[in-house]
Structures are given as C-alpha cells and as structure tokens.
Amino acid sequence: MLILFYQNLVPFFLFDHGCANKRRVYLPIESQCYLASNFTELILFYRSNSLLTSSVNKNLMQKSLLREITPLTPGDCFTIFYRTKEKFDFPLHYHEEFELNFIYNAKGAKRVVGDHIDEINEWELALIGPNLQHGWFMHKCRSKEIKEITIQFHRDLFDEKFLLRNQMKAIRNMFEESLRGILFSEDTAKSLAPRLQTLIQKPSFDSVLELMAILHDLSISRNKIALSDISFRANESISYNSRRIDRVMTYLNQNFEKEITLAETARLSGMTEVGFSRFFKVRTGKTFVDTVNEIRLGHASRMLIDTTHSIYEIADRCGFNNLSNFNRIFKRKKGCTPKEFRRVISTSGIRTFI
C-alpha cells in the first residue's frame, strides 16, 4: 500500500491489484473510487469531478508536471517545429516561453491547460503563456495523421517598454490573457494556417516581422476564449520586473560554460548570498542552482540538435564538470538521456531556430 500526502490535501490510497498498468485508487472524499492508469489521469479525474479546489488542484498538478527546458538561446527570437504524427505522447508540462500551438486533424483529442479540460475539434490554435501547465492527449482521437505546428518564443522577445507603446496594446493584453491560456476560434485557425505553414520559408528577418504580424492579427481576432481559471496566473507575470534579475540572467547566459558561484553572482547584484537566494527564488520561482542547470541544459539541448559534437564535448562546453553529472541532470530534468534526446529530435519533425 502506498500513501501519498500533499499539503492541504486529504491522503488517498493506491492498492496494487497485480495489474502491471492499473492501480485502484480509493478517494476518501465522497467515498468514490476510480481505476487510474497513471498519475495524470488521476489528476484529471479529481478535477473533472470537482473534488478539489482550484488552489489545491494546482498544487497537486505541480507535483507531477514535467518542466520543459527548450533549446532556445538568448540569441534566438523563436523556434518553430513542424511535424506529422500518429499520437500525442508528450506529458503534462510547462516552460518559461510563450507557445503558439496549431493542431489540425485531431478531433476528439483532449486539451488540458491549467485547470481547463476539454475535447478539441478539427482545427485548434492556442496561445500558452509562461509557466502554465498544458498538454494534449489522445482521448477519443483516432487520427493517424495529426498535423502540428509549435512556435515557442522568449517571454522577453518584446521589451516591456516596447509593449507599453500604443500600437502594442492589443498584443500586450493578449500576452496577459495568455497566462491563463487562450483558445482562438476555428475561423482564426483556418485563416492563419497558411501563414504558419510558410513561416519557415521566409528569410530570417522577414520571419520575425511575420510572427509579429501573426501575433497582432491574433490579438485583434474575435471570439477568443480564456481557458484556465484566473487563479492559475496569480503569481505569474510576463517579465521578471527586476533589473537585478535581468542582469543576473544576462550574466548566466554569457558565462554558462564557466564555473558560476552563488557568492560571485550575489556580489554582482550587490546583495548577501542569503538575501540574493531568497530574492531570486521569489522573483523567478526557482532556486539559483536549478536556474544555472536549466540554462546550461538549454544550451546543451541546442548543441545536441545543431551539431555533431560528442555528448562528452557538449557537456564540457556547457559547464558540466563531468559526463555522469551531465547525464544525470539531463535525464532528471528532461526525462531522457542526451543520447535519447538527440535520436528523438532527429526523427520527429522539422525544427528551425530564428
């Protein structure tokens, strides 16, 4: 018998009945029971039956989420990923970047964004803000040829002062709404599909301008729907709103291949180590060590995609002190080894960095 405890949550019990993939879950609330194939399915059951408040459900979901570390570097504007696939197989996850996700021919699949759960139609176009948990799952979808275009871009691609200009008001408001997730209408998805499909064909600078134009058209489109409950964006914002954090992030990205210490970075910020650690965690939601590792892993992921360097060489160039440490952290953070990551990326579609 396994008892799982969470803060502010009544414990529930998992009894193994000898089945490899199924476990009986007894819920003390309202004496209900449910056969769950995995932990994500259990979470969705909790939410769909209104057994948890939004705040507790968010805490529970955070426990099982995958934090995706994208291979975008500070020198990139965005990455675009085209693929045709037979199924949705990426788990519930979140990441620092904005994500614009276009899906075609996956009617009956399940969309999960924050605490929102619903079936999708033939055409799907959604904008997901930074650190908002999301995922698409097969559910009732029977298609064997799902078309997907995913665009990810930095949360600071558009400078905060730039977003305050009058002409950027609609985009700024859309970005704020995206912290809850935005679903665009099928008409909007259909009209923008050709532009999303040809974005990769444009010269580098023109593709950035076209992305801005697409975002503008999305921001003024009709019949947008906010997906998640507002509580899922309570502690999030588009930017860090801190010059110290911006300065630290710039320093980390410029020196990720070197040895970086907390003491050295705290001095850069004019703070004590203890004070800086607390300040950094409050502003970013992550510890300093986790942030350094994630920046290094982001650069390592990019090298695994773009180069033929050996994994040992990539680990060394990205500041990891030894190969076993690199492999261990990479697998813990990304759910696969560097070798597996390189193999999957090379066979799963077309990814371009702008």
pLDDT-derived band at 168 (thresholds 50, 70, 90) equals very high
Say what the pLDDT of residue 79 is: 94
Cα gap 226→178, rounded to integer Å:
8
Cβ contact 167:123 at 8 Å: no
Alpha-carbon distance 330 to 34, whole Å? Answer: 34
As a whole number of angstroms, the distance between CA 163 and CA 181 comes to 19
Q: Do domains 78-233 and 243-348 have the same CATH topology?
A: no
Q: What number is the average pLDDT over the span 198-218?
A: 94
Name which residue leads in pLDDT, 311 or 229: 311
pTM: 0.70
**CATH top class, domain 243-348:** mainly alpha
74 confidence band (pLDDT: 50, 70, 90):
confident
Q: Is 276 helix (H, G, I), strand (E, B) or coil?
A: helix
Average pLDDT (104-132) is 94
Domain ranges for the chain, please list them.
Answer: 2-64, 78-233, 243-348
Residue 224 has pLDDT above 90, yes or no: yes
Residue type, 191: S
Quick one: pLDDT at residue 10?
Answer: 33
> Cβ contacts of residue 163 below 8 Å, gap of 6+?
171, 172, 175, 238
Pick the CATH number of 78-233 from 3.20.20.60, 3.90.870.10, 2.60.120.10, 3.40.50.1000: 2.60.120.10
